[in-house]
Amino acid sequence: MILQRVFALLLLAVCAALAVMAWPYQAAFSYEPVGPRAFPLLIIGLMGCGLLYLAFRPTPIVRKDDEPELDRESLNKIGICVALLLLFASTFEPLGFVLSSILVGVPMARLYDGRWLPSIVIITLMSIALYWLFDRVMDVPLPLGLLDVLEN
């Protein structure tokens, strides 16, 4: 139980550091009336409230019999997922949305036992469809990266 509380308090300290970093943020333009810093501060505040509850709750969190075991295989999958998401974040602008989504989506599908051909086809079609949806329908510009030559 003490490890659960220590972990919650450590994450609460990370939330506080993120809130300090997000507080002074000002953008030259804003799409919404409350400004661009409201969303991260709201998420950090909600996460902080949840962590306070976890840190000071009276009973420990106990795994139930019907919940899966947190074994080495599960932890490896979680670690690989985090690494793939970091890869996506680092390749998003240089490669563009479509290529970075394919680069990350196919290994993610394979990680959860997807077959090669359906994974490649579905991830590619989804990446293109999501790019079109964001860029054309919702008017949210996403980077094309290396595929910039295809635009007009």
pLDDT tens, residue order, the chain (152 aa): 678 888 889 999 999 998 998 888 776 665 656 666 777 888 899 999 999 998 888 777 777 777 777 788 888 998 999 999 999 999 988 898 999 999 999 999 999 989 999 999 999 999 999 998 988 888 777 887 777 766 66
Q: Taking the domains of the chain in order of start, what are their residue ranges?
A: 1-62, 78-152
Rounded to whole angstroms, how far apart are CA atoms 85 and 87?
Answer: 5
**Residues 23, 26, 29, 33: what is their CA dihedral angle, to the nearest 10 degrees?**
40
Q: Is the pTM of this model over 0.75?
A: no
Two structure tokens written together for 79: 């670690």
Give Cβ neighbours of residue 12 (< 8 Å, ≥ 6 apart). 48, 51, 52, 55
